[in-house]
């Protein structure tokens, strides 16, 4: 027997993250995020409201999809950076690559980010998501600089990297003709110019 994708045991799942996301985004687009209730999403998926909360800890987390898992990749990519260049270059490379999406999924990503960046409720929630992202960077910088725990640099780099990323995204959403990674590079250049 081939060790088939073992269905462990127990009652099979009635849905999955992708199906919920799909139904939810359709409703968000039709009625807006705040006007869509978890009950409506549950009905659209064909599942109980209670079950939704087992897949996403909150309604605000639905637009973020598998963000938390993607942080693991981000962490690993940072860890595998060569130690030759500067810390700033390594961080910048990984931040850009973290946001370099397959053209096939780009449209979906644009929809996602538009929702997140234009809905106040989600703007607020994103602070928590961003916090986890910043922490990944801060941990890397701390390791690379063998900084004391109280060294302010790691946290600062996390915050500034986020600042660059979010303002790049805002520009990218306004200008669909630009490539996201190019916008990142341009923002970085602008910041360097501004500060000198």
Residues that bind a copy of itself (CB under 8 A): 87-88, 120, 123-128, 131, 150, 152-153, 155-160, 162-164, 166-168, 170-171, 174-175, 183, 186-187, 190-192, 194-196
- What tokens appear for 57 in the block? 């800890």
In the bound state with DNA, the residue whose beta carbon lies nearer, of 50 and 192, is: 50
Find the shortest distance in angstroms from Cβ 16 to DNA: 8
The smaller minimum CB distance to DNA, of residues 53 and 67, is found at: 53
Q: Which does 160 bind (CB under 5 to 8 A by kind): DNA, a copy of itself, none?
A: a copy of itself
For DNA, the closer CB: 45 or 180 = 45
User: Would you list the DSSP string of 100-115?
Assistant: ---HHHHHHHHHHHHH
Partner from DNA, a copy of itself, none contacting 76, C-beta within 5 to 8 A by type: none
Is 42 within 8 Å of 24 (Cβ atoms)? no
Q: Determine, following the binding rule CB under 7 A, whether residue 8 of this chain makes contact with DNA.
A: yes
> How many other C-beta atoms can be found within 10 angstroms of the C-beta atom of residue 135?
15
Token pair listed for 96: 């850009």
Rg (CA), the chain: 19
The mark string for 48-77 relative to DNA (x by CB under 7 A, - otherwise) is xxxx-xx--xxxx-----------------
| Contacts to DNA from residues 26-45, by CB under 7 A | 36-39
Q: How far is the CB of 126 from DNA (least distance, A)?
A: 13
Q: How far is the CB of 86 from a copy of itself (least distance, A)?
A: 9
d(CA 64, CA 144): 29
Our finding on whether 115 is near DNA (CB under 7 A) is no
The 8-class DSSP code of residue 12 comes to: P
- At 53 the three-state DSSP class reads helix
Q: DSSP of 169-196, one letter per residue?
A: HHHHHH-TTS-HHHHHHHHHHHHHHHH-
Rounded CA-CA distance 145/156 in Å is 13
Positions that interact with DNA (CB under 7 A): 7-15, 36-39, 47-51, 53-54, 57-60
């Amino acid at each position: 027997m081939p060790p088939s994708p073992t269905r462990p045991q127990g009652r099979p799942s009635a849905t999955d993250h992708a199906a919920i996301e799909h139904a939810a985004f359709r409703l968000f687009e039709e009625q807006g995020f705040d006007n869509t209730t978890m009950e409506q999403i549950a009905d659209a998926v064909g599942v109980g409201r209670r079950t939704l909360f087992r897949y996403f800890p909150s309604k605000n987390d639905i637009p973020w999809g598998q963000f938390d898992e993607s942080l693991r990749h981000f962490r690993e990519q940072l860890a595998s950076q060569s130690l030759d260049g500067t810390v700033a270059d390594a961080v910048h490379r990984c931040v850009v690559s973290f946001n370099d999406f397959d053209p096939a999924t780009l449209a979906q990503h644009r929809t996602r980010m538009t929702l997140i960046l234009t809905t106040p409720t989600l703007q607020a929630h994103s602070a928590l998501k961003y916090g986890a992202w910043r922490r990944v960077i801060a941990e890397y910088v701390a390791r690379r600089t063998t900084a004391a725990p109280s060294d302010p640099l790691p946290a600062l780099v996390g915050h500034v990297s986020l600042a660059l990323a979010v303002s790049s995204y805002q520009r990218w959403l306004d200008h669909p003709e630009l490539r996201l990674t190019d916008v990142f590079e341009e923002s970085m250049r602008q910041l360097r110019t501004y500060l000198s």
